[in-house]
Amino acid sequence: MTATPHLATSPAAAPALLRSVFRQHAAGVAVITAAGAGPAGFTATSLNSVAADPPLISFGVGTSSSSWPVVSQAEHVGVHILGEGQQELAETFARSGADRFGPSTDWRAGPQGVPLLGGVVAWLVCRVVARVPAGDHRIVIAEVVAGDPSEGGRPLVYHQGRFTALRD
């Protein structure tokens, strides 16, 4: 006997179905940063490479996020790929009300004044080219203008509602 599939039979059921299905989808973990009156940032699992020429990336950000007011006005953003040992950093930038740029966070002002996190696997600075409405989020599309892939390392992954590492 097979299990009954969870079908979205109403618009109200669709968000729960989407969350349930995407818990099965492993995603890389990034922190997005931007500068405004102060630095802002959040943990993202929605980072995508969009195009190679010109080099474009995209990510989603909730319009109710505390970072959205800064990201909505920023000309440039930082994109940081987290390594498997950076679960605490990912949790800090995911937690509402956390002191994300406090003394325990290694960061500096980078190109275009974008806050850059130290010790990450890789980072990019990107110029925002579009903010596309998508429900209660915005999809930000940005063009790569600077970066450093040299730190290397194994990525942090988000799967089944938690941060984890790749297994060999």
pLDDT at 166: 80
Rounded to the nearest angstrom, the gap between the alpha carbon of residue 61 and the centroid of all alpha carbons in its chain is 8
CA distances from 3 to 6, 7, 61 (A): 9, 12, 34
CATH number attached to the domain at 27-160: 2.30.110.10
pLDDT at 151: 62
Per-residue confidence band for 56, with pLDDT thresholds at 50, 70 and 90: very high
Instruction: Average the pLDDT over each of 9-18, 24-33, 51-60, 127-136 and give the range with the smallest value.
Output: 9-18
Domain residue extents for the chain = 27-160
Give the model confidence (pLDDT) of 64-93 as tens digits.
999 999 999 999 999 999 999 999 999 999
